[in-house]
Amino acid sequence: MSEMWDPVGVAVVGAGYWGPNLVRNFLACESTDLHWVCDTSLERAWNVVGRRSTVRATDRLDAVLEDTAVEAVAIATPVSTHGDLALAAIQAGKHVLVEKPLAASVQAGEVLVDEARRLGRVLMCDHTYCYTPSVAKLRALVHDGELGELHYVDSVRLNLGLVQADTDVFWDLAPHDLSILDFILPDGCIPDAVAAHGADPMGVGQACIGYLSMPLAGGAIAHSHVNWLSPTKIRTTVVGGSRRTVVWDDLHPSQRISIYDRGVELAGVLDPEEHRESQVSYRVGDIVAPALPEREALQGVVREFARSIRETRAPVTDGEAGLRVLRVLEAATRSLANGGALEPVAARV
User: Under rule CB under 8 A, which residues in 270-299 are in contact with a second copy?
Assistant: 270-272, 274, 276, 279-280, 282, 284-291
Contact letters for a second copy, residues 320-339 (x by CB under 8 A): -------------------x
Stretch that binds a second copy, among 92-100, 106-114, 225-233, 303-311 (CB under 8 A): 225-233
Rounded alpha-carbon distances, angstroms, from residue 221 to 153, 188, 244, 255? 6, 15, 16, 26
Is 215 an interacting residue with respect to a second copy (CB under 8 A)? Answer: yes
Q: Is the peptide bond before 231 cis (omega within 30 degrees of 0)?
A: no
Is 133 an interacting residue with respect to a second copy (CB under 8 A)? Answer: no
Is 171 an interacting residue with respect to a second copy (CB under 8 A)? Answer: no
Pick from 201, 312, 347, 349: which binds a second copy (CB under 8 A)?
Answer: 201
Pick from 139, 164, 307, 310: which binds a second copy (CB under 8 A)?
Answer: 164
Question: CB under 8 Å, gap of 24 or more: what pairs does 262-265 form?
Answer: none
The number of residues making up the chain comes to 349
Rounded distance, CA 70 to CA 100, Å? 22
Rounded distance, CA 93 to CA 261, Å? 51
Contact letters for a second copy, residues 242-271 (x by CB under 8 A): x--x-x------xx----xxxxx-x-xxxx
User: Under rule CB under 8 A, which residues in 69-98 are in contact with a second copy?
Assistant: none
Is 28 an interacting residue with respect to a second copy (CB under 8 A)? Answer: yes
Rounded distance, CA 110 to CA 127, Å? 17
Is 189 an interacting residue with respect to a second copy (CB under 8 A)? Answer: no
Residue 320 CB, nearest distance to a second copy (Å)? 28
DSSP symbol at 75: E
229 alpha-carbon distance from chain centroid:
21
